[in-house]
């Protein structure tokens, strides 16, 4: 595993996410930095988990890590979780899979179309489930904590 390549790729991922931070009207430079760091973190975790051999698991683990990171940063900056989460998810979005799925569809290669389409849906599902798990656990934790504070 070449850690230098992983680090350089993650840096470029973070820089690309900084551009998306500006597009999403994140105005404070500190928030731009930390939201782009989420992109760095997501791609780093994805690449570091590649030796597991299952890319759906890699996507899931990367999404869980950035969801936790986004929840923490949202509390620190008192802003919505989505400001950090959407920017950090961009490196993980299966754009290439969507492109190749449509290419196979147009060319009439039904077997490749179904294969790439299901794989792309699996990646999207991994991203959704990762966000869902962390947000559900966070909401559950808040509800439990509020009940004990009232009692």
Cα–Cα distance, 80 to 89 (Å, whole number): 15
pLDDT beneath 70: ranges in the chain: 151
Q: What is the pLDDT of residue 106?
A: 96
C-alpha torsion angle, residues 130, 99, 39, 30 (rounded to 10): -120
Q: What is the pLDDT of residue 151?
A: 67
Q: What is the pLDDT of residue 147?
A: 87
Average pLDDT, the chain: 94
Cα–Cα distance, 65 to 84 (Å, whole number): 12
Global confidence as pTM: 0.92
- Contact 135/81 with Cβ under 8 angstroms? yes
Per-residue pLDDT tens over the stretch 43-84: 999 999 999 999 999 999 999 999 999 999 999 999 999 999
């Amino acid at each position: 595993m070449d850690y230098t390549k992983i680090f350089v790729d993650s840096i470029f991922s973070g820089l690309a996410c900084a551009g998306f931070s500006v597009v999403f009207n994140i105005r404070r430079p500190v928030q731009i930095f930390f939201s782009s760091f989420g992109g760095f973190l997501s791609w780093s975790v994805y690449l570091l988990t590649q030796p597991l051999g299952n890319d759906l698991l890699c996507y899931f683990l990367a999404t869980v890590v950035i969801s936790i990171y986004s929840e923490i940063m949202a509390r620190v900056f008192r802003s919505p979780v989505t400001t950090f989460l959407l920017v950090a998810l961009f490196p993980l979005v299966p754009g290439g899979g969507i492109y190749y799925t449509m290419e196979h569809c147009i060319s009439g290669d039904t077997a490749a179309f179904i294969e790439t389409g299901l794989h792309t849906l699996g990646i999207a599902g991994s991203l959704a489930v990762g966000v869902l798990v962390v947000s559900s656990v966070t909401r559950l934790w808040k509800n439990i904590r509020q009940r004990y504070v009232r009692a």
